[in-house]
Structure 1
Amino acid sequence: MSSADKAPVIAIDGPTASGKGTIAHCVAQALGWAVLDSGALYRLTALACLDSGIDPADEAAVANAARELDARFEGGLVFMHGQDVTDRIRAEVVGNLASQVAAVNEVRQALLDRQRVFRQAPGLVADGRDMGTVVFPDAPLKIFLVADVAARAQRRCKQLKEKGFSANLANLMQDMEARDARDRSRTNAPLVAAADAITIDSSNLSIDETVDAVLGLWSKLVSSKA
């Protein structure tokens, strides 16, 4: 077993806008670990399709775009073909398309190994939809982060407006409900809590409270194995 295989992973899964990315970054920073925003890879694939005029229904072409993705993550920024696309991949049109392409089996297979490469010592905090069920099934701590759709829509609306995008709360709620249904019902790697995951409802929790909850669970786990 390589040192990368032994590196601990905290997997944080959950529906869109549940706060996974923010929590993952904060937990990783507190522990001094690396972070994987798996959703960014699917958003990048979606953006590549939009920029190249690839028909989302052409699964072979979409999968090829995923395999040839020229992307890198640097200091909280996301680059594709050398261009900073950090804000572009957060647009709702990209997020909705990402949910569609994520249902394509060939796309998920193309991105699977790329995600696992992020597992390096001293540890990794990975967020997504199937981190604990498919990508890192042996993660010692698996979190399923949820929040009611109204709270998630309000968060996303605020986030989009802060980034200069127009946003309509009612439309966001409708889009999220549709995306949730699509993510949960897809045949390949559906959005579901791992059998050994711990569910945290962040609807009424602040970012700090949610981060403290995850760190507390990790601390308890480490202590129990000491």
Structure 2
Amino acid sequence: MVPKPLTFNLNHLKKITIAIDGFSSTGKSTVAKMLAKELEYVYVDTGAMYRAVTLYAMRKLFIKDGHFDKEGLIRHLFMVSVKFQMNAETGIADVYLNGENVEREIRTLEVSNFVSQIAAIPEVRKLMVQKQHEMGKEKGIVMDGRDIGTVVFPDAELKVFMTASADERARRRYEELKAKGDEVSYEAVLENVQKRDELDTSREDSPLVQAEDAILLDNTHTNIEDQFHILLQLAKDRIYGRC
């Protein structure tokens, strides 16, 4: 008689919090989604939350013709609702802004050009961090962003800081946008990447910085599959208490 294969029930294991920070276009979201799916954890793309607020500001003309009405946006923050809802086709949660699926709209280069400015506003960060805390209070979560391991979940069991060269990140982002049919130039994408790096690392409120206990992962020359397996092994070590 052939014995039945052993099953692996993740629900019986200790739940941990996984914080993945890093520069834009390092593939944080992609690998975080893969990791969350493998572990059967909740995935939260905090960058998408700030992108949704940016889209709101653009739609309400708080951002227009190079002018940014920061105070106007702050006064309207109580009207901004950002939530995640599972997409049955992709198996991944999409971003909803005030009840509307804006997953595609928030990924444009136009939104990318302004998101770092929006994310630097203390009132915006306070609101988003509050929502992120609520999402992660039960653990069993993979969250990526700019300040997850330093501000949102400083006690996360696993912290990873992802980086790559600006040229490589711009190339990845350019190919991603072109695949979606967006008319962009590589030079414009590279400029956006470099500008966001400067804004993210120099802002006064929660700047992008590697947490002291975060593991550095430079993926300039590492494909997504290898990155996933590295993170999966790190997560298993924490879950099983091996480090």
TM-score between both structures, scaled by the size of structure 1 = 0.91
CA distance in 2, matches of 1:72, 1:149: 30
Q: Deviations over 1:42-67 (max 9, x none)?
A: 00100000001114643333234444
Which secondary structure state, in structure 1, belongs to the residue aligned with residue 95 of structure 2? strand
- Greater shift, 130-139 or 103-112, is seen at 103-112
CA distance in 1, matches of 2:189, 2:76: 27
CA distance in 1, matches of 2:238, 2:68: 44
* Map of 2:10 onto structure 1: none
**Aligned pair 1:144/2:161, yes or no?**
yes
Give the drift of 1:220: 2.0
CA distance in 1, matches of 2:188, 2:173: 11
Q: Deviations over 1:144-186 (max 9, x none)?
A: 0111111111111111112121121111111111110111011
Give the drift of 1:122: 5.6
Which secondary structure state, in structure 1, belongs to the residue aligned with residue 19 of structure 2? strand
**Aligned pair 1:63/2:99, yes or no?**
no
Q: Deviations over 1:53-100 (max 9, x none)?
A: 114643333234444222322223222233221111001111121110
* Map of 1:24 onto structure 2: 32
CA distance in 1, matches of 2:154, 2:77: 22
Which secondary structure state, in structure 1, belongs to the residue aligned with residue 32 of structure 2? helix
Structure 1 or 2, whichever has the larger Rg, is 2
Give the drift of 1:225: 4.9
- Greater shift, 212-221 or 30-39, is seen at 212-221
* Map of 1:3 onto structure 2: none
Which secondary structure state, in structure 1, belongs to the residue aligned with residue 18 of structure 2? strand
**Aligned pair 1:12/2:20, yes or no?**
yes
5+ residue gaps, structure 2: 1-13, 87-92
1:117 to 119, 134, 147: 134
* Map of 2:123 onto structure 1: 106
- Which residues in structure 2 correspond to 1:49-198 (within 5 Å)? 49-55=57-63, 57-75=68-86, 76-121=93-138, 123-198=140-215
Aligned alpha-carbon RMSD (Å): 1.8
CA distance in 2, matches of 1:102, 1:67: 16
CA distance in 2, matches of 1:59, 1:96: 15
Q: 1:27 to 1:65 in 2, by over 3 A?
A: farther
Which secondary structure state, in structure 2, belongs to the residue aligned with residue 74 of structure 1? strand
Which secondary structure state, in structure 1, belongs to the residue aligned with residue 174 of structure 2? helix
CA distance in 2, matches of 1:187, 1:91: 26
Tell me how many residue pairs correspond in the alignment.
221
Which secondary structure state, in structure 1, belongs to the residue aligned with residue 38 of structure 2? helix
Give the drift of 1:9: 0.9
TM-score between both structures, scaled by the size of structure 2 = 0.85
Percent of pairs with identical residues = 35
Give the drift of 1:207: 1.0
CA distance in 1, matches of 2:120, 2:139: 32
* Map of 2:51 onto structure 1: 43
Which secondary structure state, in structure 2, belongs to the residue aligned with residue 36 of structure 1? strand
Which secondary structure state, in structure 1, belongs to the residue aligned with residue 211 of structure 2? coil
